[in-house]
Amino acid sequence: MNNFDVVVVGAGISGIGAAYNLQKTCSSKSFTILEGREKIGGTWDLFKYPGIRSDSDMHTMGFRFKPWTEPKAIADGPSILKYLDGAVKENDLEKKIQFNRKVISAKWETNKAHWNLTVKNTKDDSEEIIRCKILYLCGGYYNYDEGYLPEFKGYEDFEGEIIHPQKWPEDLNYEDKKVIVIGSGATAITIIPAMAEKVSHITMLQRSPTYYMSAPDKRPLDSFIQKITTDRLGFFLIRWKNILLGRIFVNQIKKNPEKWKEFLINGVKENLGEDYDIDKHFTPKYNPWDQRLCFVPNGDMFEAINSGKAEVVTNTIDKFTKEGIKLSTGEELKADIIVTATGLNMQLLNGIDITIDNQQLDISEKIQYKTMMFSDVPNLIATFGYTTASWTLGADLTSEYACKLINLLDKKDMDYFYPEAGEDVAAGGDFLDLNSGYIQRVAHKLPKQGSRDPWINTQNYLKDLIQIRFKSLEDSDLKFKKTG
């Protein structure tokens, strides 16, 4: 069958969550998941670098419908994949997933109220057309083909191996090797402690410092709650504790950044000692949460530095050389392996070329609605989770809303919906309130935020939860139409 009520793009965390909710609450609707790769898991299957792990706790990064019962709240990649695999099997979702099917283009026809999707078979490059009424994007937020790599002078001259974390060779031998990791974000500070024990030396080469916060990956209170309750109740209590504490934490930091700046930097000082040059290497120029805060489980990164195996260099790169990297100040760092932990290429709409009645969709001209739809774009839902909390909290609310909306469309006996921004909705704000490099590089290509609810990207689970779970779906901006 090539005709579905709903097509979900992507079988990562968001796509699996969407499928669970569609199956449960839109049981009369036919749907399929088109996944471009040959496995589920998305991010957690793609990244294979040493130490790959979550930054968020799995009680909020896991699904609402499947308790996270492992003792560690911060989980490694394989444990996350096992959990996702369990969610698919327990809910009989395998039959819904079509692997090696990459959606290339989507053409909306208003007079027929459907999407025609061009879908490429990534095994044999053949193409087919799949039709659906509702297109539900769950393909993440970055380009899977290539990570971000700044232009480095002399890149070709380096005679060792250069590796981007997005394409990690699983058989890489780094025993007794000298390694430079360029970058200081979550990926760099995961890779460095994980490699430190085996390498002869590892250097984190950063242009400027990032905020870090160290905390245990197992939390005694969680273990206690898990011990005295059932899996389900324990999960519910820990999840809500984490949601509320996380929100309070972000609110407090935004309200009083100076105080928290000092708190975070003092945390690093406690780990590295007074003699370490914290000002140079660990004092960022921006305020906490202007960019993502990086989590250091059990202080592992600081331990690697204290052991002498890992070192931080704060400097800019002049060029790559035969044997390593020459810094702008003239020194040369030698290396056998250079890891470019320089980030992702952010991408919205899952890289799909979208047209609406033969007009190319330019998403930068649109205003986002409830962080899941765009002004004047019909029957399209796009998942974008939270950046200041677990992504999945946002993805879960999106799927709850999507299912209610699909049912409402039926109840009204209508064919399509779209949000329309009235004159009182000025398009002003950036899509996201973060100035991280990967967002700033594409800020001009992203949709805008509007000046009032529900056109504001709240990034606030509690506020969105009330909107979505307890308030009416209908508002004067959401239009329902019938063809003809």
Q: Which spans of this chain sit near ligand FAD (rule: CB under 6 A)?
A: 9-15, 34-37, 42-43, 47, 54-56, 61, 102-103, 138-140, 144, 187, 350-352, 383, 390-391, 395
Nearer to ligand FAD, 56 or 371 (CB): 56
CB of 134 to ligand FAD, least distance (A): 16
CB of 119 to ligand FAD, least distance (A): 8
Nearer to ligand FAD, 36 or 447 (CB): 36
Cβ neighbours of 22 (radius 10 Å)? 25
Nearer to ligand FAD, 5 or 396 (CB): 396
Q: What are the backbone dihedrals phi and psi of residue 91, each rounded to the nearest 5 degrees, phi first?
A: -110, 15
CB of 19 to ligand FAD, least distance (A): 11
CA–CA gap between residue 205 and residue 181 (Å, rounded): 6
DSSP state of 447: P
What stretch of H or E contains 356? strand 353-356
Nearer to ligand FAD, 325 or 439 (CB): 439
3-state secondary structure of 102: strand
Using Cβ positions, the residue closest to ligand FAD within the complex turns out to be 42
CB of 327 to ligand FAD, least distance (A): 27
CB of 142 to ligand FAD, least distance (A): 7
CB of 34 to ligand FAD, least distance (A): 5
With contact defined as beta carbons under 8 Å apart, do 77 and 113 qualify?
A: no
Nearer to ligand FAD, 88 or 421 (CB): 88
Nearer to ligand FAD, 159 or 353 (CB): 353
With contact defined as beta carbons under 8 Å apart, do 218 and 72 qualify?
A: yes
Nearer to ligand FAD, 130 or 356 (CB): 130
CA distances from 14 to 89, 136, 383, 478 (A): 16, 10, 7, 24
CA–CA gap between residue 89 and residue 20 (Å, rounded): 11
CB of 130 to ligand FAD, least distance (A): 11
The angle at the Cα of 239, spanning 236 to 242, to the nearest 5 degrees, equals 150
CB of 276 to ligand FAD, least distance (A): 27
Q: Taking the CA of residue 196 as centre, how many other CA atoms within 13 Å lie in the half-sphere pointing to its CB? A: 22
DSSP state of 361: P
Q: Taking the CA of residue 75 as centre, how many other CA atoms within 13 Å lie in the half-sphere pointing to its CB? A: 20
CB of 98 to ligand FAD, least distance (A): 9
With contact defined as beta carbons under 8 Å apart, do 34 and 80 qualify?
A: no
Four-residue CA torsion sign, 287, 398, 12, 138: negative
CA–CA gap between residue 222 and residue 254 (Å, rounded): 27
Nearest partner of 237 among 217, 250, 219, 252, judged by Cα: 219
CA–CA gap between residue 227 and residue 235 (Å, rounded): 11
Nearer to ligand FAD, 323 or 433 (CB): 433
Nearer to ligand FAD, 95 or 227 (CB): 95
